[in-house]
Structure 1
Amino acid sequence: MSKVGLIQMTSGPDPEVNLLFIEQQLQQMQSQPQHKADWVVLPENAIVFGSKQDYHQHAEPLGSGPLQTRLAQLAQQFQLYLLVGSFPVRCEQGVKTTSLLLSPQGELIADYDKLHMFDVDVDDGHKRYRESDTFVAGNRVVVANTDLANIGISICYDLRFPALFQQLRSQGADVITVPAAFTYVTGEAHWESLLRARAIETQCWVVAVGQVGTHPCGRQTWGHSMVIDPWGRVVGSLSETAGFITVTIDPKINQTIRAQMPIAQHARFDSILKA
C-alpha cells in the first residue's frame, strides 16, 4: 500500500508564487503522520498558469533549468515521488505541456507529453480554447514502473479518450493519474462521471488533481480533486478550495476486482479486427 497526496491549486503566471504554495502544502502534509505521503500529484499547469507568452517564457528543456531543479529539490527534501501535472517543456517544434515524475532522489524518471489538445468552445467567460496555439501535442503512451505502483500518466482533456486509458491498462498500469485544469462548466457537467468511468473500465485506481477557482488570467476551473478505486468508488475528494488531501491506495483491490471480473481476458475486439 502507498499513500498519495493531492495538492489542489489556484495557480497563476508567476512560478515563484506557485512553487511557494506547493512547498507550504508539502510541509504541512509531511509534518503530520496521518497525512505523510509516499507520492504527491500536482495539477495541470501547476507551475505556470497563464497566457501563451507565460508558458513560452518559462519553458525549459526537459530535465534542466532552474524551475525543474527546484521541483527536484522538493522531491528530495520531502522524500517522495512528485508528479508535476504539467510543465512547459521546450523542444525543437515549440513547447510541449509535459507531466514530470521525479523520484525521492530528485531524478526525472518519467515524462509524458499531453496527447490531446483542448481545442474546443465552452459556454463560459473565456469562450474559446485553442491549446494547440500554445503547445505541440505528444505522441507517446507512458506507464512509469515504480516501487509504489505502475503509474499510467494522462493530462486533463486526455480523460475524454478512453482508448488511451485502455492502452495504459494494457501496458500494466495499476494507477492512472489525471492532473487537470477542467473548466468550471465542463467540470460540473462531466468531471466525476468521466473519472469514474475510466476507473471502472480499466479496473485501475484513478488519481485526479485539478486546478480550482478564478485564476489571474480570468479563467475559472472546477477543482473537485478525487481518488477513485478500481470499482468506481470515490474514496477521497476535495471541493472548490485550494488545499490537499491524502488517500491510501491498496493494490490488492485491483487484484481482487480483476480476478472476479477478468474483462481484459474477455475483450474480443483485437481478435475481431484481426479476422
Structure 2
Amino acid sequence: MRVAAIQMNSTDDRDRNLAVADRLVRAAAADGAALVVLPEKWSVLGTPEQLADGAEPLDGPAISWACATARELGIDLVAGSIVERVEGREKRSNTSVHVGPDGEIRATYRKVHLFDVEVGGRVYRESDGEEPGEQLVCSELTAGGEPVSLGMGICYDLRFPELFRILALRGAQVVTLPSAFTLATTRDHWEVLLRARAIENQCFMVAPNQIGVSPPGNRSGGRSLIVDPWGLVLATAPDAETHVAAELDLARLAEIRARLPSLANRRPGAYAWPKAAL
C-alpha cells in the first residue's frame, strides 16, 4: 500500500491554502498513493482571531473539497485537521476527517490533547479557543485493496503514548498524525517520538507537518515523516511545500508482531495508575 504525507506552509489565506492542498494531493495521487494525509490546520493557520474567522463546519469549503477530491481521485484522504465550528458551542474543535474513495466521511476525530505550553520563547494556549475531544477513533482504509485499520491522532497527541497504545489494541495498523510541530520541538523531539510510537505499537506512522512561518510569526519545523513498525524512517520531507511517499509492507507488519509480540505479551493486570497526580 502506497501512502503520502503532504507538507504545507499554511497561513490565514484559505483560498491559497486550498489551492496548494489541491495541487499537492493530486501530485501524491499521481505518484501512486492510495492514502494521502494533509497536515494540521491546513486550511487556515494563524492567530487566534484568524483561526476563529476561518473556522467552518464539516460541510464547509475545506471538507467539501476533500470529499469531492477523494472521490475524483479514488483515494483515502485524511484531511489533516481543520478548525471546526460546531453549532451551539462557544469554542471550536481541532478536527481530523477521514474521507473514503467514495467521497463519504468515514471517521471524524477531535484532538484530545490541547497544546497549552511555553516553547521556543512563545506561549501557546489552544484551550482559550478550542475544546478537547473525548473519544479515540479508528477507521478503515479501502483504497489500497484489502481493508486496513487506521488510527487517528493530531500533533500534540504524540506526547501521550496511552492514546497510541489504545489505538493499537483496537487493531490500528496505520496511524496518521497531522501536525504543526514547532521548529524547536521538530528539531529535538519529532523524529524520536514518532519512531518510539511506531516501535511501541508496531504500526506505521504517517506524519505530515507544517513547514515555515505562519501568523503571528510562529514557526513549524517540517520534516514530515513516514515510519515503519520497526522504527525505520521510510520517507522524510525536505524543507519545502511538497509530498513524500512510501510503500507500506503490511506483511512485514504482521511478521514483526508475530516474531516480537510485545502487544500480545502485555500484562494489564499488573498495571495500576499512581494515585498521586502531577
**Could you tell me the TM-score, scaled by structure 2's length?**
0.92
How many residue pairs align between the two structures? 267
**2:79 counterpart residue number:** 84
**2:276 counterpart residue number:** none
Task: Give, in whole Å, the separation in 1 of the partners of 2:180 and 2:174.
Answer: 20
**Post-superposition CA distance 1:98-154 (Å, at most 9, x none):** 001111121111010000011000124xx1111111211000010102334211000
The more displaced of 198-207 and 209-218 is 209-218
Task: Give, in whole Å, the separation in 1 of the partners of 2:257 and 2:151.
Answer: 17
Q: 1:270 to 1:59 in 2, by over 3 A?
A: farther
Instruction: State the shift of 1:58 in Å.
Output: 2.6
**1:133 counterpart residue number:** 128
Q: 1:180 to 1:271 in 2, by over 3 A?
A: same
Q: Which runs of 5 or more structure 1 residues have no equivalent in the other structure?
A: none
Instruction: State the shift of 1:273 in Å.
Output: 4.2
Pairing of 1:109-258 with structure 2 (within 5 A) = 109-124=106-121, 127-147=122-142, 148-258=147-257
Instruction: State the shift of 1:271 in Å.
Output: 4.4
| Residue type of the alignment partner of 2:92 | V
Does the CA contact (< 8 Å) of 1:210 and 1:223 recur in 2?
yes
3-state SS, counterpart of residue 179 of structure 1: coil
Instruction: State the shift of 1:215 in Å.
Output: 2.1
Instruction: State the shift of 1:214 in Å.
Output: 1.7
| Residue type of the alignment partner of 1:213 | G
Task: Give, in whole Å, the separation in 1 of the partners of 2:29 and 2:250.
Answer: 23
**2:27 counterpart residue number:** 28
**Could you tell me the TM-score, scaled by structure 1's length?**
0.93
Match of 2:70 among 72, 75, 96: 75
User: How large is the Cα RMSD of the aligned pairs?
Assistant: 1.5
Task: Give, in whole Å, the separation in 2 of the partners of 1:65 and 1:193.
Answer: 36
Match of 2:34 among 30, 35, 38: 38
Task: Give, in whole Å, the separation in 2 of the partners of 1:55 and 1:100.
Answer: 18
The more displaced of 251-260 and 67-76 is 67-76
Alignment of 1:49 onto 2:45: yes
**2:7 counterpart residue number:** 8
Instruction: State the shift of 1:191 in Å.
Output: 0.3
**Post-superposition CA distance 1:215-270 (Å, at most 9, x none):** 24311101000111000000111132211111111111111001001112211133
Task: Give, in whole Å, the separation in 1 of the partners of 2:27 and 2:264.
Answer: 44
Name the % identity: 37
Does the CA contact (< 8 Å) of 2:29 and 2:75 recur in 1?
no
**Post-superposition CA distance 1:13-68 (Å, at most 9, x none):** 1211011001111333334xxx1211100000111101222222232233x12332
